[in-house]
Amino acid sequence: MFDPVEKLKEFVRHASVSTDPTAKAGMAGARDFIAGLLAEIGFKVEVVATALHPVILAERAAPAGCPHVIIYGHYDVQPADPLNLWSSPAFEPEVRDGRIYGRGTADNKGPLLTHVTAVARLLAERPDLPLRITFMIEGEEEMGSPSFPKFLNDYRDRLKQADLVLLSDTGSPDADQIVITCGLRGLVLSEVRVTGPRTDLHSGLHGGVLRNPIQAVAELCASLHSPDGRVNIPGFYDDVLEVEQWERDELKRLGGDEEAYRKFLGIPAFHPTAGYTPFECTRYLPTLEFNGIGGGYQGEGSKTVIPSKAFVKISCRLVANQDPVKIRALLHKTIAERMPKDVTFEIIEQHNAVPYVVVPPDRPNTPADQRPALAATFRAADRAIAEVFGKAPIYLREGGSVPIIADIKRELGLDSVMIGLFLPEDNLHAPDESFHLGVMEKGIRASMRILADLADGK
């Protein structure tokens, strides 16, 4: 049986930066590495071409009627620059103090190899394990997975036979306390561009006679929140499900020091939605944020101009059961209604709308509408994590959006069990990225138990 740490070093040495067109050798090397490893442990491996970086699809057959789990991961990594801030070279992995350092160790090569190793060990122990396993490993996650929806669509008939997706590409608060992410916020992105006069104007000669497009943008933005922190778009909250008591209870188990969080953010005071704690706001409520605003003179000092144009970039994070298409329509309708008639404007949709995701974990008082295998996996994960890590997992929704989870739900109808294996100090997307080897070894053991229990119908 291979040593997972040595295998991880080998994996990390391939500089698989998907956004870097000069990193072709690294991408191919990482792909060949993981494809070879899966073939070595008995999987039938296909390398599926896409418009850019291929997806690896590896299957272990099992008798009809066995449960079927898809394990998701990605073999691409973030760029490593600024290189001079690394303590050891980004693509020459090094173990120090119980951690392995290198780009991609935590995101996502280490967590992916955790599951690959678990599968390898389990199959070595039980070659006839009654479990169908499919590895689905993409190479474009760090660029927003542009080819992934088409891949899912192309392979829908095969993949939708599965019972669930298991993955570890989320985080946990510390090495003892694992979080299972059971919800992600959706996302709608729009840009509003306002035009006033046809050209920039002298603010002395023409000031006072027309509405400045900056004023129009500012008045629009100011209208989009109420003083209590809520989003001021009629109908915005209509479909929002109230957070359930068990979710508030889980969040209390996580703990969290509000004052420490405030200091981390560096703000004088929070501005939460009335009736919710700051930690509840980021996980359970929808938002409308301004991601960028611009217009007129941006340089040092002053220029007495009335600009021709101004813009604002808006994003909304959505929660269950907000439909992103409906919310986008409400946003655009509100903008159109509130825009004064003395300027012109256009609204640019910046991205496909990403729906919220809620994975119903098998908890008391939650609807048990998931497939039996999904419910079984949650029970198995709860047991395995409690035993191996010493504490039961916490089930939380996250504030971010992971489009592939929504893609998988939409294209395949499958829910995802997201077991967090990276930690806040792992420096994802930053210099000195590392992965905690204790978490890796415990993760292997927990994954083995989960998969074994799933096979055994426990």
Site for its own copies in 209-238 (CB under 8 A): 209-212, 214-215, 217-223, 225, 229
Task: Tell which one of 25, 92, 290, 438 touches its own copies (CB under 8 A).
Answer: 290
The answer to whether residue 287 forms part of the interface with its own copies (CB under 8 A) is yes
Stretch that binds its own copies, among 34-42, 126-134, 296-304, 415-423 (CB under 8 A): 296-304
Q: Does 50 bind its own copies (CB under 8 A)?
A: no
Residue 246 burial (C-beta neighbours within 10 Å; 0-12, 13-18, 19+): middle
- Of positions 36, 235, 275, 292, contacts its own copies by CB under 8 A: 292
Which range of residues in 63-71, 86-94, 110-118, 343-351 is near its own copies by CB under 8 A? 343-351
3-state secondary structure of 337: helix
Strand order in the sheet with 434-436: 94-96, 99-101, 434-436
**In the complex, what is the shortest distance from the CB of residue 115 to its own copies, in angstroms, rounded to a whole number?**
25
- Contact range with its own copies by CB under 8 A, out of 58-66, 117-125, 208-216, 412-420: 208-216
Query: Which residues have C-beta within 8 Å of that of residue 422, sequence separation ≥ 6?
Result: 106, 107, 110, 111, 168, 170, 171, 172, 428, 435
1 binds its own copies (CB under 8 A): no
Task: Report how far residue 110's alpha carbon sits from residue 12's, in angstroms, rounded to the nearest whole number.
Answer: 9
Q: Is 185 in the site for its own copies (CB under 8 A)?
A: yes
**H or E stretch covering 94:** strand 94-96
Distance CA 96, CA 425 (A): 14
- Pairing between strand 186-195 and 309-318? antiparallel
Does 431 sit near its own copies (CB under 8 A)?
Answer: no
- Mask: binding to its own copies, 306-325, rule CB under 8 A, as x and -? xx--x-xx-x-x--------
Structure tokens at 325: 């298409």
Site for its own copies in 369-398 (CB under 8 A): 398
Smallest gap from residue 456 Cβ to its own copies (A)? 37
Tell me how many degrees the CA angle 311-316-321 measures, rounded to the nearest 5.
155
244-273: contacts with its own copies (CB under 8 A): 265-273
> Least distance (Å) from its own copies to the CB of residue 29?
30
Does position 173 bind its own copies by CB under 8 A? no
Would you state the torsion angle of the CA atoms of residues 346, 348, 354, 356, taken in this order, to the nearest 10 degrees? -30
Comparing C-alpha atoms, which of 141, 191, 148 is closest to residue 316? 191
Window 70 to 89, contacts with its own copies (CB under 8 A): none
Smallest distance, its own copies to C-beta of residue 112, A: 22
Q: Of 229 and 360, which CB lies nearer to its own copies in the complex structure?
A: 229
